[in-house]
A and B are shown apart, each in its own frame.
Chain A
């Protein structure tokens, strides 16, 4: 990467430059050698400072952790956009001079990886030599070609010098409200190529003396739609970084530079040891495989370029092999091809996704770069969505998280299975929920043009546990700090009114333990000449469900949104008639029952942008998914089913037909009573019915093989997916053909 990247940077050949003071590039190579030769990061076979004085070691760690969270508080308060200021979609970190993250704030836990790689790239590209790294400098990157995830995540870093020596970096990332994409907002799934990926900041020094250059601000002003918010967020990032720098210098003065340098490296090695030990003491060696798929059905919808009128299905395969040393070997063999949408990702951003998952399920104690040293990630197939640039250097990464977070979800289930096998049932988590985003663009009630994200998607249900249901609307795959923001605050920014924000019944899959339920937001458009609603994909499924039927559960349903425009809502309000505050039945939705409208869509396959503007009194119903369930649904404790019936969190049909629970509602009290004897009989009938309708696998395998050969009932997107997956990973294709006993030259 670095040679190509350096060549692209271009350096003035004749200019004399000052020799680097520290030669960080050499230090990077030395770090790698030490790890290779000793198996310990930085060659730290013993944690000397920890052993000598564990109390101070822990105390300093907590000072650093508090410093990061102080930076988060300062940064989010200085930031302007609701996504940072209200939702905290940001992160601040501290890094070694060579880039490895030491400590991170709360927030989006994927980013310590991206920020580490960003700083590392600055060093590998020789920035220490030219253009130089000086006190007060501000560097930024949002370019996926150089390790950024997607353009709206602005990665920033400032060097921390102490007595003339670069001793650390402070870093920050925030997700800005508008990336300058062709369509307003920040979830650029529609972007056909990188030329539509908005305003680029490519490994740049964007300021000095703790200030942004004027031309940086001029670029933001001319190339984003909400520049006050975008620049406000830039100042928030910088303010948080300066907070870190000031406090780290205070800490060095108190504990000494040598101590600071030593413990920072020890914290990273300590984290590596923790993640390794957790695998060795709580998991089992072997091979885990998990298929997963996601759709992106865009044929016939509003797109940017004509060739985007296609339906896509992504193959998101995960294979993990855990060896005797508890090291993970992770493969994405079988990943399908790049897509002409903003859903491709640079491979160097994938460790960040893994770090994100690790922050939830494996390496969350002393969370930093250390976990990265516990796995080997095989380079994803060249030309796949996970490594597009070798084949299409101009592939878009507008919302590259979309397939990646869904791939990552398989790691939750994988580790859930491992923890289950070892008996750590309290650590088991089923698969994750999806991320269906809602963005608005248009003129708001203050006369300001707004473009950007609501925070609804940051509050999914949490995955079912090994011995309990997940929690409702309290979890988010990309951050441990799930927060969907206050409705009243969001109403200040966007010209909509919440007329509903409800727990969605049965949205957590069906199992012995269900996933936490998601919720549905119902908005009425108000105080605007017109807005567009973008029901976006930051990791959703709408044609298929997740492959998360863990231990016999049914996965959560696909994400489908609803809206109505040209409605009679104003008249209904004046007549004091019922509006729509929740989705209602999947077959007879409340929108269709209560509202009359010129356009009334109750089951729209996501993602999409409304084909025309929405106006006063139009209605949007936006669902946020629950998480995945676990276990055979007919083993669900009838008392749990009753509790869900009483709370309105499940429906009678699901209770009876899926869980096999016979219950009756008391019309007066509205309370349900379970008929235990009838429930036992119903469940036995279900078991017998399964045995009667199930066929021996071998018999089905023969029949299915014929259907595959005939490509029977296989959507074009499915065939396209198999074609690219098997071509880009020939071994994967060979195994697939062998399983179905297909001819070696068989092509989908």
Chain B
């Protein structure tokens, strides 16, 4: 089983590793220590102290903050409990007219705004475009990934996390709160 130096993984992540070497890594058996190295790289790149438990996207991480597990942007902006779709605490801009769509898609490249809307989710802290959705009106935002963190850490990595949390989607709890 191969293992790679963390500096080589860092080059891989940054797209700086020569393509033939990337292909070798792709073809070979996977290294068992990758996750730890990955977290190490990510942790070194953020300025805040909370422990990264799992990256969700290049900009968003689930972190341990005291007894809570929250979604946090690399810029430091916090989105709350990881079991609630973080999009509920993002900024959103929706392209649902020809004029708004034309800033991205023009002429024959433009979708029909009566059939679909382009939703852009931004980080309120740094303005990073975190996710884009292309869905018809009425579609709830995708909660792309709700990890079962305790199963992952306890059973798959053999390193249980403190303060186990119920594995449940809490998004509708927030919606109910908003609906009162």
Contact = CB atoms under 8 A, between A and B. Distances in A.
B161 interface: no
Contact of A426 (B25, B59, B149): B25
- B interface secondary structure, majority: mixed
Interface in A160-179: none
Given A284-B54, A427-B26, A695 B116 contact: no
B150 to A, nearest CB: 9
A554 B104 CA distance: 8
A587 B128 contact: no
B94 A544 contact: no
A26 interface: no
A424 to B, nearest CB: 6
A425 B108 CA distance: 34
Given A421-B147, A698-B88, A748-B138, A555 B132 contact: yes
Interface stretch (A88-96, A211-219, A252-260, A686-694): A686-694
A126 interface: no
A38 interface: no
A697 B134 contact: no
B25 A544 contact: no
A551 B30 contact: no
Interface in A8-55: none
A425 B13 contact: yes
Interface residues of B, number: 85
Nearest to A651: B106
A549 B12 contact: no
B88 A718 contact: no
Determine the interface band of chain A, counting residues with CB < 8 A from chain B. 35 or more
Contact of A697 (B57, B90, B144): B90
Contact of B140 (A426, A548, A586, A735): A735
Contact of B87 (A322, A424, A697, A748): A697
B29 to A, nearest CB: 10
Contacts of A721: 136
A417 B56 CA distance: 7
B90 A740 contact: no
Contacts of A603: 107-108
Contacts of B139: 291, 293, 736
Nearest to B42: A423
Interface string B1-24: 000000001001111000100100
A545 interface: yes
Contacts of B169: 287
A288 to B, nearest CB: 5
Contacts of A735: 140, 172
A741 B13 contact: no
A633 B26 CA distance: 26
Contacts of B115: 295, 313, 543-544, 715, 717-718
Given A701-B178, A735-B172, A549 B127 contact: no
A726 to B, nearest CB: 9
A422 B35 contact: yes
Interface in B121-161: 121-122, 124, 126-140, 142-149, 151-152, 155-156
A621 to B, nearest CB: 10
* B22, B118, B132, B133 pick with most chain A CB within 10 angstroms: B132
Interface stretch (A133-141, A190-198, A441-449, A706-714): A706-714
Nearest to A509: B132
Interface string B54-81: 1111110000000000000000000000
B49 to A, nearest CB: 21
B134 A633 contact: no
A544 B156 contact: no
A715 B113 CA distance: 9
A602 B39 CA distance: 50
Contact of A694 (B26, B92, B143): B92
Interface in B84-116: 87-94, 96, 103-116
A695 B91 contact: yes
Contacts of A554: 104-105, 118, 132
B46 interface: no
Contact of B108 (A313, A586, A631): A586
Given A284-B54, A324-B151, A602-B108, A545 B130 contact: no
24 contacts: A285-B152, A285-B156, A287-B148, A313-B136, A322-B148, A418-B145, A421-B55, A423-B39, A467-B14, A467-B22, A543-B111, A547-B134, A555-B132, A557-B108, A557-B110, A557-B111, A586-B108, A602-B108, A632-B59, A633-B129, A690-B93, A690-B120, A714-B137, A718-B136
Given A285-B151, A554-B105, 17 more contacts: A286-B152, A291-B135, A322-B148, A324-B156, A427-B26, A467-B15, A467-B22, A549-B131, A587-B107, A695-B93, A696-B92, A697-B87, A700-B94, A704-B94, A713-B96, A713-B113, A718-B115
